Structure 1
């Protein structure tokens, strides 16, 4: 993860310059009001602890909400997947869940958010050089990272590594590690606007305007690192 973080820094600068070209002179003047810093050491510590607590609470609440959302969404998808359909070439009607379970050889028990994300992001994984056998799995992890958080994706990656046969190649594990190392997700956009916006209220409009572009840039930077490490792995 340390290597991934170091690699992501120059990649993020390159992607940022492409998405948001610098056309004006940079204002290097920094002015922080004394009351924002604190009147003394104890005041500064208390202010810093309070602001840090707000950010930590924001992250914790986001995780709780999105994990709950995954469970709720999968309940509805599982219910929809039980609707019987006519399988092509078969006399008996099968449900969507049964077809998915048969197609994935039991890796997915039925229609779920994880399955949908894997199918949606599989072409992107193919573009960065992920082995064909692991396209759906890494696509699922990438989708979870963007829509939810990297914490959920890393936790699921740990589970997949321990599950025999879930990920075919060690190269895919390495690429997934580099790909998931980053804070580019929808929840982070909200944290960025709410958290950083509270620290710098005059930048709240700027953060809101370019939040999704920052999400795209962070995602591309992580994919760039994964592509490079995949080429030499």
Structure 2
């Protein structure tokens, strides 16, 4: 017995020593990390002070000139430094010292408030129905605003009927009506409306988005420029061949994303953006981040940013990721649309407004019925095996090879299927005397979309033109639709308001080629869920198309005649 006690004592002592060593290692790690971050902040601050001295010396601190530099010059540096400084303050001051006190104070206040409310039936009722009260106040305010704002043109209210119709369609095709979280759906519509106000009616908001869009375009341009070396300038810059130009960004974004994951930066972005969207809409962290990333990066690059987490997503989350991809376009292709007559501000606004709407509509058609695994608490615990930053970067680039090959294969297959169906339809029509125009999928869907165009606010005599554009976008792609829109504008077939509504309606990647791209990309990223992707892709494609129509409805309602 004495021997066993001695052995147990030795084991306890060894455990205590090990725990003490682990604690010391953690302390040393935290100290080294703090010193390193402090050194980095010192260097950044010194550079900022130097830049400030140069700016004041050169311009005399002109505030007018400062406003002109907020996107590219010294003003942009001030904004970046502010974010960096806030990040350091948050980590070393707010998180350990301030937030715990505020959280405890809030919890104490909440407990006392609830105790008091239990004794006051009226206050208790308000708390129980607070969401309904918030919704009622918001929609009443919106109704009053629209009544006043549309006094010059009541036809601007027609798209509201379209918004209602599209929501009904989503409810009809929902796979689990009893599990729909209506708070998420309503908040998605609220955010879509608020984003519309900020970007359509507020110049500052529009300028901010324009600046962010330009920065993302600059980032993607690095991929375009680099691809000139292996492929040649002719294919990349002049001919702009899709496989050699647009898909080259997949290599660069995957390369960059892996480096950000290695240093833990992407995890913090995921938790920060995702937590906000989760708090507002009730959606999960990953699907929220995917929606936000797709605004600027597009359907291919957006999911890549979440690559380590995708296999842990539920079916509903995967549906949301795909819906976001189909409902928006990337900043890298907007220049092409602009060349056909679309306005840059409308294209950027369309993607911004579609971000919350994509989550809203996805949760309407495919509600969450599983347990969400990835939460803020365990987002950083997902294993990401990289031995070094160089290892992370090289794996990011090489892993993208399979993605690009899959995207090209899927795109060719689905477009070939559309061409085959069009040929069969043309042959069927020709046998009964319909050869001019030839029957095609886009022609048929163009006729179907005439009433859809009307409820989006398009004047009846221009509905067939917009329906044709939607049909082309849905059955071919949005590039061909924007090109056709440019031809219609030259022929005077589209009025100013119709042009704007059409731009919003066709500003999305919901087309057959994109189905192939999405399936191939996600199959490469999460091969274990290939069957889930195949099962959900058409539903999310349909949802993405209707999200574009919802965005067009809200834009048509908010857009006054004097800014068309």
The normalised TM-score by structure 2 is 0.33
Confirm or deny: 8 A CA contact 1:38 1:44 kept in the other structure: no
Decide whether aligned partners of structure 1 residues 61 and 111 sit closer, same or farther in structure 2, where only a CA change above 3 A counts: closer
- Structure 2 residue 448 is the aligned partner of structure 1 residue 120: yes
Structure-to-structure mapping, 1:101-180, within 5 angstroms? 110-113=437-440, 114-162=442-490, 164-167=491-494, 169-180=495-506
Confirm or deny: 8 A CA contact 2:407 2:518 kept in the other structure: no
Partner of 2:394: 43
- Structure 2 residue 515 is the aligned partner of structure 1 residue 189: yes
Confirm or deny: 8 A CA contact 1:78 1:110 kept in the other structure: no
Partner of 1:93: none
Decide whether aligned partners of structure 1 residues 157 and 55 sit closer, same or farther in structure 2, where only a CA change above 3 A counts: farther
Decide whether aligned partners of structure 1 residues 20 and 49 sit closer, same or farther in structure 2, where only a CA change above 3 A counts: closer
Decide whether aligned partners of structure 1 residues 135 and 27 sit closer, same or farther in structure 2, where only a CA change above 3 A counts: same
- Structure 2 residue 555 is the aligned partner of structure 1 residue 229: yes
Decide whether aligned partners of structure 1 residues 116 and 60 sit closer, same or farther in structure 2, where only a CA change above 3 A counts: closer
Partner of 1:10: 356
Partner of 1:57: 408
Q: Work out the CA distance in 2 between the residues paired with 1:66 and 1:155.
A: 22
Q: Work out the CA distance in 2 between the residues paired with 1:16 and 1:224.
A: 13
Q: Which has the higher helix share?
A: 2
Q: Work out the CA distance in 2 between the residues paired with 1:47 and 1:213.
A: 31
**Aligned with 1:135: secondary structure?**
helix
Bigger Cα displacement from structure 2, 5-14 vs 21-30: 21-30
Q: What is the CA distance between 1:66 and its match in structure 2?
A: 6.4
Q: What is the CA distance between 1:33 and its match in structure 2?
A: 5.7
Decide whether aligned partners of structure 1 residues 80 and 127 sit closer, same or farther in structure 2, where only a CA change above 3 A counts: farther
Q: Work out the CA distance in 2 between the residues paired with 1:187 and 1:6.
A: 23
**Aligned with 1:219: secondary structure?**
helix
Decide whether aligned partners of structure 1 residues 61 and 23 sit closer, same or farther in structure 2, where only a CA change above 3 A counts: closer
Partner of 1:22: 368
Q: What is the CA distance between 1:133 and its match in structure 2?
A: 1.3
Bigger Cα displacement from structure 2, 207-216 vs 188-197: 188-197
Q: RMSD value over aligned CA atoms?
A: 3.1
Q: What is the CA distance between 1:48 and its match in structure 2?
A: 4.4
Bigger Cα displacement from structure 2, 130-139 vs 146-155: 146-155
Q: What is the CA distance between 1:55 and its match in structure 2?
A: 5.1
